[in-house]
Amino acid sequence: MNVILAATLLSSSQRANRVKADADLYLRPPVDRFGLLEISALEELVEVGYQYAKKEIEKLKNQQSRKS
């Protein structure tokens, strides 16, 4: 089972790298404390991601307004 999981994670990692290269904005919220299969934490994960995205987008807006 570990081999299957490792192969899946490697494939996912490679795909994520391709997506990052094509993205205009790539965000990685701080969700390392959650387990891969921790479905019971879904609502908390969504909230963490939402708050992180709001903060990062605000930073981006501020950077853009300083450039103008």
Instruction: Write down the pLDDT at residue 46.
Output: 96
Instruction: Write down the pLDDT at residue 1.
Output: 64
Residue type, 4: I
Looking at the domain assignment, is residue 62 inside a domain?
yes
**Domain count of the fold of the chain:** 1
Segments forming the whole domain that contains residue 60: 25-68
Looking at the domain assignment, is residue 14 inside a domain?
no
Instruction: Write down the pLDDT at residue 42.
Output: 95
CA dist 29 and 17 (Å) reads 16
**56 Cβ contact partners less than 8 Å away, ≥ 6 residues apart:** 27
List the chain pLDDT tens, one digit each, 68 residues. 688 878 888 888 888 888 888 988 889 999 999 998 899 999 999 999 999 999 999 999 999 998 87
Looking at the domain assignment, is residue 65 inside a domain?
yes
Identify the sign of the CA torsion 49, 52, 58, 60.
negative
